[in-house]
Amino acid sequence: MIDWLGWLTQGSVVELRVALVSLLLAFGLGQAVAVVYMATFRGLSYSRSAVHSMAMGSVIACMLMLAVGNSIAAGIGVAVGLSAVRFRTTLRDPRDIMFIFAALGVGIASGLQAHAAALLGTAMFAGGSLLLHFTGYGARHQPDGLLRFTAPAGPGAEEEITKLLRTHCRTFSLVTLREAAQGTVMEHAYQITVRAPELRSSLVSRLQAIPGVQDVSLLLQEPTLDL
């Protein structure tokens, strides 16, 4: 029993304390990265497993760094062991990959006992992520959708359609215009941005009320949603 305890606690008390502090720091900072990810997430494909991976991945990375230490042979052994593991989870959003990588970086820095770098790096990453999220950095204005319909050929219908689009849409641009039914009707396709979301159904119904306008369809596009 004494021999077993001696084998379990081999190493100085200082080394055990450093390992404990490094692992706890990695776990805490990994959770901080996960919290920032949850606060700034947008879309539908939220994964609780990804959040858990951020929190626990930092601990695993820290443990590996502590185990390797300054041993080149141990580092090669860990690299060979990791190369045999195949991760089949596909992350379609580059932002998710960056958060996973940040959690692993926190664990590596903690395992190498670069605690200041781990703390400051986490603070910088979290602050930068929140700043980019709330300022909308990188966002581009996108049209709400594509409006398609057929209308009789002639200036009368065109004027009425243009007037209706101006009252309901903040912006609209003609994408395609082509003849159909031997030139008696025209197929229209507009990229539109409505003034308010509740005006979408009103726009479709009022277009259908114009004499001769048929096959009205509004295809919405939401680039931030991932199904």
Alpha helices per DSSP H over the chain? 2-8, 13-40, 48-68, 72-83, 94-111, 115-135, 155-168, 199-209
Residues 97/103/109/112 CA torsion (nearest 10 deg): -100
This prediction has a pTM of: 0.60
**Residues in the chain, how many?**
227
CATH-assigned architecture of domain 145-220: 2-Layer Sandwich (3.30)
- pLDDT, tens digit (0-9, with 9 covering 90-100), for 112-171: 888 888 899 999 999 998 988 888 777 666 677 889 998 888 777 888 888 888 888 888
Domain boundaries, the chain: 10-135, 145-220
- pLDDT, tens digit (0-9, with 9 covering 90-100), for 174-199: 888 888 777 678 898 998 888 888 88
Tell me the pairing of strands 145-152 and 185-194: antiparallel
Partners of 147 in the beta sheet? 190, 218
- Please name the helix (run of DSSP H) or strand (run of DSSP E) that holds residue 187, with its range, or none: strand 185-194
